[in-house]
């Protein structure tokens, strides 16, 4: 695992740059390394994922759930996440075990990359080891509280998923998905 630290550093340098490029409030890499929970979460994830790939039991989950408690960001160590990944704000983000995320993806707080209902075998036990979580192609942005579910769901590259969208089917590249704005009522406060 320690052999992979130089490569993890290279990946994290891209993640820091992605945070700077993706957040106009950031004043520079130092602030991101000190302060950003998204970088903290992806740092621990890249360590835990390395151990997960080496089929080390328990320890990757101990790491990821500790990070979950620290940051409010829940990334299963099995998730495959490409370079230049940025989680802005972060609280409430959930990324499931079989999620695949390509390069240059940005997600906001409350985003869930999750599974649909779990299939069971003939004896009623959960079927494990299948792809249950979505694939997010390169350059996708997913705004706050959006939910993308299902192992067959592919979000095409450079698409944008609007806030609070719930998506359970694939969309082609360069697609913008939004929900109709709810009507608002205004009245004078009593």
Partner 1 sequence: MATDFRKKEALSDLTDRIVDSYEEIGTINHLGHCPLPNAQEVISIVNDIKEVLYPGYRRRQNLHLGNVAYYVGDLIDSLHDRLTTQIARSLRWAADVRGEDTCSREKIIDFEAARTGERHPDARVAPGNPADARA
- Provide the binding-site residues for partner 1, judged by CB under 8 A: 1-2, 5, 8-9, 12, 30, 33-34, 43-44, 47, 51, 54-59, 62-63, 66-67
Q: Residue 11 or residue 155: which is nearer to partner 1 going by CB?
A: 11
We find the least distance from the C-beta atom of residue 68 to partner 1, in angstroms, to be: 12
Instruction: Return d(Cα 105, Cα 158) in angstroms, integer.
Output: 9
Nearer to partner 1 by Cβ, of 8 and 144: the residue is: 8
Give the CA count within 13 Å in the CB-facing half-sphere of 129.
Answer: 2
Please report how close the Cβ of residue 10 comes to partner 1 at its closest, in angstroms: 11
Contacts of 117 (CB under 8 A, 6+ apart): none
**Nearest CB to partner 1, comparing residues 125 and 183:** 125
Closer CB to partner 1, 8 or 94, in the complex:
8
Distance between CA atoms of residues 99 and 23, nearest Å? 24
């Amino acid at each position: 695992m320690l052999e992979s630290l130089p490569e993890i550093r290279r990946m994290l340098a891209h993640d820091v740059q992605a945070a700077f490029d993706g957040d106009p409030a950031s004043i520079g890499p130092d602030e991101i390394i000190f302060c950003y929970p998204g970088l903290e979460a992806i740092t621990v994830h890249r360590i835990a994922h390395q151990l997960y790939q080496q089929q080390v039991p328990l320890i990757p989950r101990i790491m990821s759930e500790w990070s979950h408690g620290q940051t409010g960001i829940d990334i299963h160590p099995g998730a495959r996440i490409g370079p230049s990944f940025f989680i802005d704000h972060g609280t409430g983000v959930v990324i499931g075990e079989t999620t695949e995320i390509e390069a240059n993806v940005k997600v906001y707080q409350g985003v869930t990359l999750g599974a649909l209902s779990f299939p069971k075998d003939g004896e009623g036990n959960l079927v494990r080891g299948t792809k249950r979580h979505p694939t997010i192609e390169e350059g996708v942005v997913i705004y706050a509280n959006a939910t993308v579910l299902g192992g067959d769901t592919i979000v095409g590259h450079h698409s944008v998923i609007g806030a609070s969208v719930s998506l359970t089917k694939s969309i082609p590249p360069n697609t913008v998905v939004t929900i109709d704005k709810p009507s608002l009522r205004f009245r004078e406060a009593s």
